[in-house]
Structure 1
């Protein structure tokens, strides 16, 4: 029995979430990413902006030149995470097995469910309608007998589309597509295949298997199989999140102590907020430092459970002292919280007054962040009140 795999990909996810939160942005070219005057990159671009050549991972400075009249927005990852969770819960109501491949991308294994739902195109159309009604967000769905072909099908149907590849027609569907449409083919592999005269996925499928193996090793075997639409990878539920992290690349490299401490406090506020929203505490705090010469080092400390900004900030500051030993400007700082455990609330008869005040303070600060977002920073001075 052929498997039934759906690949659901949210369209211009970050940009469309921003439009749901601010309907006045509808119809305008919208670019979500870092400072357009700095060294940040594009996280998401609306289709209106993509018409001008803007795409994800492009430097923001380049995006501004291509589309200077666009609306530029700083990412609000906590909002995108909340919408992603809502979409995941909707999908779990319809599929026994759902894999969240990324914040805006999901695989559903509906093998055997055709007896329950009948036509899979009808079910996919219903999923699109439900998600749009419940979240206000459009999506595209590809249907095939495996994850690889379903993913490529959805990419060909964007935006707001729906495409099913009938079992047995996978190779025919792929054959006409450029070889770069095959996931996993990077720039160097693409160039090497081009030098071998391989332009389309069909060219790759027809190329002698032994020559691909001799040129690419084991990867050549995989290329040969995938070009024929063969993929045995299963849809797997992902376990509980293993870490929370946040990092920032500076607009200008710096070694100013006050600037570095302020940056750490902002990063701590963001990861601390997300940690508490998930009801989680962390035992390990890791600081990432990237210098202007791109040398990157990390320093970690594992100890008692923490979820408060003050405790995390103090640990991060001490890690910075250990990490910043070179007389070289810093380009990037990052914070990662890992070794996670559920934050179990323990009612104690004689609970420490300071602990009660601290918990109350963070609840108040988090409610403010819920309303105004993470662009509102309080700074370390308020944590010690």
Structure 2
């Protein structure tokens, strides 16, 4: 059965929300960032006209556009807006799957008889989001998630594009692997593909599977399917009770450093913040990810999955530290650290076999209670003092695509 999949992509999302909330910002170059020494998280389209891009430092952005307006991000504001967007999409179908805070997949195959074909539904969605929230979005339409995701990138901002099944082969024959970034292939993977002679999406789809596995391991299976434009994965039914997929925090250091004690103290700080949020939402996790950004903006990231579920900052830290030790000795100074946890389940508060572990978790809950009453990190591990002395910015940024239950 042919499917009709939509990918709704909010344009320059954080900046657009800020411009809508503050009419003074409309039509002006705006960048959204965190507090302190940080980077551009999102640039408005007016700012992009000056060459400002996500990932630039604020000084770099100001050099390109001296009049650029800096706005400090408010994640709660963006989450609230995202949830309102979801409610609009759910008027058409319950097959709504959040892909990130500003992207959602929809499967409208079964509701086309009620609301019209995919293009008609997409136009109506764009109209409703604009009328009710004052925001623009781009929508891609295809027979699966990969094609819909790629289609959404073709006409921005405020675009609408449908790729027909019979056109996929011709489009992919002209499509470079670098243009597959954002639909399952990152910059480094694209560069490696080029280095082994795979330059287009069609060449990737036609490549020998054993050859791809030799160079990319099990990822080779996935890469070949991307090159073929094949994706059988379903769009999941929307479930706000199972909405949180990960918790994460990142922090840009006041100055770049090689000092391992300082870096590990920041990793502990991020781990503790993740643990607090994990317990606040009454959840457990078992996949810890660490992200390190160096002085030249090159990044290292890796995740590690353990057999049992955890809930405290120290448990998270010990796994993150294990990952960090794999890149020692450092060849470049560290600019930013980030820690996140995923593979989550609800914490049903079952008693532990070992009394010591039970008491440890009870102590963590007591510390949460004290800090909630008297202020964050009133009670904290002594080793966090190292990070505090080096310089803790007023607010830590939130990593990636997870959304917080409201």
User: What is the alpha-carbon distance in structure 2 between the residues aligned to residue 221 and residue 196 of structure 1?
Assistant: 17
Residue aligned with 1:204, SS? helix
Pick closer, same or farther for the CA change 1:6–1:67 going to 2, 3 Å. same
Pick closer, same or farther for the CA change 1:307–1:99 going to 2, 3 Å. farther
Q: Does 1:313 align with 2:375?
A: yes
Is contact 1:107-1:235 (8 Å) kept? yes
Pick closer, same or farther for the CA change 1:296–1:198 going to 2, 3 Å. closer
Q: Normalized against structure 2, the TM-score is what? A: 0.67
Residue 233 (structure 1) aligns with:
233
Pick closer, same or farther for the CA change 1:198–1:244 going to 2, 3 Å. closer
User: Is 170-179 or 77-86 further displaced after alignment?
Assistant: 170-179
Residue aligned with 2:9, SS? strand
User: What is the alpha-carbon distance in structure 1 between the residues aligned to residue 283 and residue 216 of structure 2?
Assistant: 42
Q: Does 1:77 align with 2:139?
A: no
Please list, as runs of the form range in 1=range in 2, the aligned pairs for 1:253-332 lying within 5 A after superposition: 286=313, 302-303=364-365, 310-311=372-373, 313=375, 316-324=377-385, 329=390
Q: CA deviation at 1:304?
A: 5.7
Please list, as runs of the form range in 1=range in 2, the aligned pairs for 1:92-111 lying within 5 A after superposition: 92-111=90-109
Is contact 2:254-2:391 (8 Å) kept? no
Pick closer, same or farther for the CA change 1:240–1:311 going to 2, 3 Å. farther
User: What is the alpha-carbon distance in structure 2 between the residues aligned to residue 214 and residue 281 of structure 1?
Assistant: 42
Pick closer, same or farther for the CA change 1:163–1:307 going to 2, 3 Å. farther
Pick closer, same or farther for the CA change 1:327–1:45 going to 2, 3 Å. closer
Residue 3 (structure 2) aligns with:
3
Residue aligned with 2:105, SS? strand
Q: CA deviation at 1:118?
A: 2.2
Q: CA deviation at 1:224?
A: 1.6
Q: For structure 1, list consecutive stretches of 5 or more residues without a partner in the other structure.
A: 337-341, 344-385
Pick closer, same or farther for the CA change 1:247–1:200 going to 2, 3 Å. closer
Q: CA deviation at 1:137?
A: 0.3
Which entry has the higher C-alpha Rg, 1 or 2? 1
Residue 176 (structure 1) aligns with:
174
Residue 118 (structure 1) aligns with:
116
Deviations 1:277-323 (CA, angstroms, capped at 9, x unpaired): xxx67896648999986797989963269678643736x33323254
RMSD between aligned alpha carbons? 4.0
User: What is the alpha-carbon distance in structure 1 between the residues aligned to residue 128 and residue 338 of structure 2?
Assistant: 45
Residue 185 (structure 1) aligns with:
185
The structure showing larger relative contact order (alpha-carbon pairs under 8 Å, at least 6 residues apart) is 2
Pick closer, same or farther for the CA change 1:109–1:74 going to 2, 3 Å. same
Residue aligned with 2:219, SS? helix
Q: For structure 2, list consecutive stretches of 5 or more residues without a partner in the other structure.
A: 260-264, 285-310, 325-332, 340-359, 399-404
Residue 22 (structure 2) aligns with:
22
Q: CA deviation at 1:178?
A: 2.0
Q: Normalized against structure 1, the TM-score is what? A: 0.70
